[in-house]
Amino acid sequence: MARKSWRNHLWLVTCLYFLLGLYNIAFAWLGLIFFVTPLLISIIKGDKAFCNKYCDRGRFFRFLGGNLGLTRGKPMPAWMKSAWFRYLFVAYFFGMFGSILVATWLVAAEAQEVDDAVKLFMALRLPVDWSYSGALLPALTHSDGLLPSLTYSGGLLPPWAVQFAFGFYSLMLTSLVLGLLTMLLFKPRSWCVYCPMGTMTQLICKIKEKES
């Protein structure tokens, strides 16, 4: 019988990341690991080892869609697989990332207050009262919204870092929601077809291949 690889359990990393972010928004910074590692691997090794072996997100969709059967299993429409759509989505993704950096800079320059909200597509505020002051110890408070309020006492992070954390968590959550939707509608790992990290690593690999 084939031995189960530890990599089969990497989907738990996705769950852990979002739970830690709920516990304290400071943990959103850890998401940069998923951002930088695939790019570094493709730049250094010229391959997609991260996608093929280590990506927790890909495993997460495989687990939900493949193992648990939460998918219709239909093929994606051709336009979603096309190069123009994938590059357009990379541009959209960078647009969202750029808006996070601008907000972070404005808070650092004291031109605006921290916007302590997690937003889908950088616009739809989640109905969670995410009050904070940047520390690692949360204290559950009253519930006056649809979901419980979380508050954080202390102050380990400067305001600009908290702003970045809220923005980055929002970006990660947005991509997760899109991935879940495409998993439900199409095949389990349909997100991987237009995932910006996948598109960028593929582009880097192609460039490296041409160079060599």
By CB under 6 A, name the binding residues for ligand SF4.
38, 51, 55, 57-58, 191-192, 195, 197-198
* Residue reference for tokens 């559950």: 140
Toward ligand SF4, which CB reaches closer, 42 or 170? 42
**What single letter denotes the amino acid at residue 146?**
L
Minimal CB distance residue for ligand SF4: 198
Toward ligand SF4, which CB reaches closer, 107 or 187? 187
- Min separation Cβ 43 and ligand SF4, Å: 14
- Min separation Cβ 96 and ligand SF4, Å: 16
Q: Are 10 and 55 in contact (CB under 8 A)?
A: yes
Toward ligand SF4, which CB reaches closer, 134 or 179? 179
- Min separation Cβ 179 and ligand SF4, Å: 7
Angle between helices 159-185 and 83-108 (to 10 degrees): 160
CA distances from 52 to 6, 57, 72, 160 (A): 14, 11, 23, 35
- Min separation Cβ 52 and ligand SF4, Å: 8
CB atoms within 10 A of CB 47: 16
Toward ligand SF4, which CB reaches closer, 55 or 171? 55
Q: Are 133 and 152 in contact (CB under 8 A)?
A: yes
